[in-house]
Amino acid sequence: MALEINALFVAGIVLALALRFILAGTRWGLVVRTVGDNADAARALGYSLRGVRTLATMAGGFLAGVGGSFLSLYYPGTWNEGLSSGQGLMAIALVIFARWNPIHCFWVSLLFGAATALGPALQSIGYTSNYYLFNAAPYVLTLGLLVWSSSPRHALLGAPSELTISK
């Protein structure tokens, strides 16, 4: 079959749309963004920083777990040591590049997926030279994006300002 789509791919699209709605249009979303962006404001409004952050981290951990289940259940479908091979870091670079917007995250994750598929795809059509180089494509992309986005000239629009070590 040429086009095999996993249920988690559809779940990803639905999640991106749902997160977009939650962050922009619900009280919970606004509170999470406030806590991430201006702790003083959240405190003045009477929200518990620790509570919101704990819940948000738990929700993030849950979603990361769903992502991880994709690796062991579907791609490659077996479990072995170091299964994620750095894709967690890639996910962080992806969010920065997508400017913290769930819809952009979806498109950028397609880009990263394509970069990851480059090596195996070329191999499957019989092009085997520079095999390891093509397999490194997603890591090169990650590195490039991190270098680009950490440059002081590119203002990190949309980055939560509480998420910093220079404060």
Partner 1 sequence: MSEPTPPLVDVRGMTKRFGALTALDDVSLRLAPSAFHAILGENGAGKSTLVKCMMGYHRPDAGHVLVDGQEHHVGGPRDAHRLGFGMVYQHFTLVPSMTVAENLVLGKDDLPAVIRWDVERESMRAFLSRMPFRVDLDRTVGALAAGEKQKIEILKQLFLGRRVLILDEPTSVLTPDEADQVLGVLGEMSRDGRVTVVLITHKFREVEAFAREVTVLRAGRRIGGGAVTDLTRADLVAAPPVFPSRRRARRWRHRRRCSAWRASRCSTTGA
Q: Which chain residues interact with partner 1 by CB under 8 A?
A: 25-28, 30, 33-34, 37-38, 40-41, 44-46, 158-161
Whose structure tokens read 């180089």?
Answer: 133
Amino acid at 85: S
- Residue placing its CB nearer to partner 1 in the complex, 113 or 158: 158
Q: In angstroms, rounded to a whole number, what is the distance separating the alpha carbons of residues 150 and 90?
A: 15
Amino acid at 161: S
- Residue placing its CB nearer to partner 1 in the complex, 56 or 122: 56
In whole angstroms, the minimum distance from the beta carbon of 97 to partner 1 comes to 17
Q: In angstroms, rounded to a whole number, what is the distance separating the alpha carbons of residues 80 and 8?
A: 21
In whole angstroms, the minimum distance from the beta carbon of 20 to partner 1 comes to 13
Long-range contact set of residues 68-75: C-beta below 8 Å, sequence gap at least 24 = 69/8, 70/6, 70/8, 74/6, 74/8, 75/6
In whole angstroms, the minimum distance from the beta carbon of 55 to partner 1 comes to 15
- Residue placing its CB nearer to partner 1 in the complex, 26 or 128: 26
In whole angstroms, the minimum distance from the beta carbon of 22 to partner 1 comes to 9
- Residue placing its CB nearer to partner 1 in the complex, 114 or 163: 163
Q: In angstroms, rounded to a whole number, what is the distance separating the alpha carbons of residues 51 and 127?
A: 53
